[in-house]
Amino acid sequence: MKVITFSTRFPAKHPKAGQPTYFVEKIMASLADCIEGWKMYDDFVLYDWHQYYNASPKNHTVRAGNRWKEGELFSPRVWSGKPYASKQIEFAPPIQIKKIWNFKMTARLWADECEYSINGQNLNAGELITLARNDGLHVLDFMDWFSNGMAADSNRKDFEGQILCWNESVNYSSIELPQSNGASQGTINSSNAVENKKRQ
């Protein structure tokens, strides 16, 4: 069975480097919401019960490449210590991927802007906020995660991968959200994303 490891802390190049992500709590909240009778492992201790009960659930994960198919199962794990240098801990039973979408971030190196798309359709700022929330992140944290915290004039690279979703209630094929204010569809920078977030 394939394995997916989740970061318990923001990566080194992220503005929030070292701070907790609470991905485990958010994933468990999502599973409890979408799988009837689901129970967490008795011997797994949550880091923060407040996050489990109050944070927005993490309904999917974004992974580089194109190696996953709908219906596949994966073992959800975290590192017990330093990533890639410690034992992995499975924190929930195998999870089935219900839906998959292709995701792409295209960087514009000459400006503080990126284009984000799902299945080739560009997202506006409102849609990006929803995508980030379903991924367990604030929209600005999501944007910084995939740009690796790099400034516009650095070696920021495009990203292509898949959105792996285990919650069937998520549906990007029929998303209907307000257009971003003062920005062309698909071209998003931090300022218009924040402004759109304030109105929600």
The alpha-helical segments, DSSP class H, found in the chain are 23-34, 49-54, 125-134, 139-146, 190-198
What does the pLDDT look like over 144-193, one tens digit per residue? 998 765 544 456 688 999 999 999 999 997 554 434 343 344 555 544 45
What does the pLDDT look like over 41-68, one tens digit per residue? 555 555 556 666 677 899 999 999 999 9
pLDDT over 80 at 36, yes or no: no
The answer to whether residues 58 and 146 belong to one domain is no
What does the pLDDT look like over 63-83, one tens digit per residue? 999 999 999 999 999 988 888
The answer to whether residues 35 and 117 belong to one domain is no
Domain boundary among 96, 127, 160: 96
Cβ(89)–Cβ(44) below 8 Å: yes
Q: What span, in angstroms and rounded, lies between the C-alpha atoms of 159 and 99?
A: 20
Closest alpha carbon to 128 in 52, 194, 59, 42: 194
The answer to whether residues 109 and 91 belong to one domain is no
The answer to whether residues 121 and 91 belong to one domain is no
The answer to whether residues 82 and 143 belong to one domain is no
Q: What pLDDT does residue 83 have?
A: 86
Q: What span, in angstroms and rounded, lies between the C-alpha atoms of 7 and 83?
A: 8
Structural domain range at position 160? 101-198
Pair type for strands 99-108 and 113-118: antiparallel
The answer to whether residues 106 and 194 belong to one domain is yes
Domain boundary among 96, 117, 150: 96
Pair type for strands 73-79 and 2-5: parallel
Domain boundary among 67, 96, 125: 96
The answer to whether residues 106 and 180 belong to one domain is yes
The answer to whether residues 20 and 75 belong to one domain is yes
Q: How many domains does the chain have?
A: 2
Cβ(48)–Cβ(26) below 8 Å: no
The answer to whether residues 67 and 105 belong to one domain is no
As to burial, measured by CB atoms within 10 angstroms (0-12 exposed, 13-18 middle, 19+ buried), residue 28 is: buried
